[in-house]
Structure 1
Amino acid sequence: MQTSEAQPPLVFFDLETTGLGRTCEIVQLAAASGGHSLNLYVVPPCPMQRGASKVTGFRVRRRRLYLHRRLVPTNSLREVLVSFVAFLRMLGRPLVLGHNIRRFDCPLLARALDGLGLRAEFESAVSGCVDTLPLARESLKGRGLRSFGQTHLVRELLGVDYKAHDALEDVRALQALYGVLRPTEESICRQRFTLDTMEGKPAVSRVASKEPPGQRPLWENFRPTVEVTDGKDDRATR
Structure 2
Amino acid sequence: MQSSAGAEECGRSLVFFDLETTGLGQSCDIVQLAAVSGGHSLNLYIIPRSRMQRGAAKVTGFRVRRQKLYLHRQLVLTNSLREVLVSFIAFLQMLRSPLVIGHNIRRFDCPVLARALDELDLRAEFESSISGYVDTLPLAREMLKDRCLQSFRQENLVKELLGLNYKAHDALEDVRALQALYSVLQPTPELVCRHMFTLDTMENKPAVTAAKVPCKIPGQRPLWEHFRPTVEVTEHKAEDHDGL
TM bracket (short chain): 0.7 to 0.9
Matches within 5 A, 1:34-73: 34-73=38-77
**What's 1:30 paired with?**
34
Matched, 1:234 2:227: no
How far apart in 2 are the matches of 1:95 and 1:179?
A: 14
Match for 2:72: what amino acid? H
Answer whether contact 1:30 1:40 (CA < 8 A) is retained.
yes
**What's 1:171 paired with?**
175
How far apart in 2 are the matches of 1:153 and 1:146?
A: 10
Matched, 1:193 2:211: no
Please point out which of 82, 98, 110 is paired with 2:86.
82
**What's 2:165 paired with?**
161
Distance 1:237 1:196, change over 3 A: farther
**What's 1:15 paired with?**
19
Q: How much has 1:236 moved relative to structure 2?
A: 5.7
Match for 1:31: what amino acid? A
Q: How much has 1:133 moved relative to structure 2?
A: 0.3
Answer whether contact 1:14 1:167 (CA < 8 A) is retained.
yes
**What's 2:136 paired with?**
132
How far apart in 1 are the matches of 2:158 and 2:74?
A: 27
How far apart in 2 are the matches of 1:7 and 1:150?
A: 26
SS at match of 1:107: helix
Q: Which has the higher helix share?
A: 1
SS at match of 1:154: helix
RMSD: 1.6
Q: How much has 1:92 moved relative to structure 2?
A: 1.9
How far apart in 2 are the matches of 1:71 and 1:58?
A: 10
Answer whether contact 1:176 1:236 (CA < 8 A) is retained.
no
Identity of aligned residues (%): 71
Tell me the TM-score normalized by structure 2. 0.83
Distance 1:236 1:129, change over 3 A: farther
- Count of aligned pairs between the two proteins: 211
SS at match of 2:128: helix
Question: Residue deviations 1:181-237, cap 9 Å, x none?
Answer: 11111111111000111218xxxxxxxxxxxxxxxxxxxxxx98x3136xxx42366
Match for 2:38: what amino acid? G
Matched, 1:118 2:119: no
SS at match of 1:197: coil
Match for 1:41: what amino acid? Y
Q: How much has 1:15 moved relative to structure 2?
A: 0.1
How far apart in 1 are the matches of 2:196 and 2:202?
A: 10
Answer whether contact 1:173 1:237 (CA < 8 A) is retained.
no
How far apart in 1 are the matches of 2:235 and 2:202?
A: 31
SS at match of 2:64: strand
**What's 1:152 paired with?**
156
How far apart in 1 are the matches of 2:229 and 2:181?
A: 20
Tell me the TM-score normalized by structure 1. 0.85
Structure 2 residue runs of 5 or longer lacking an equivalent are 205-224, 237-244
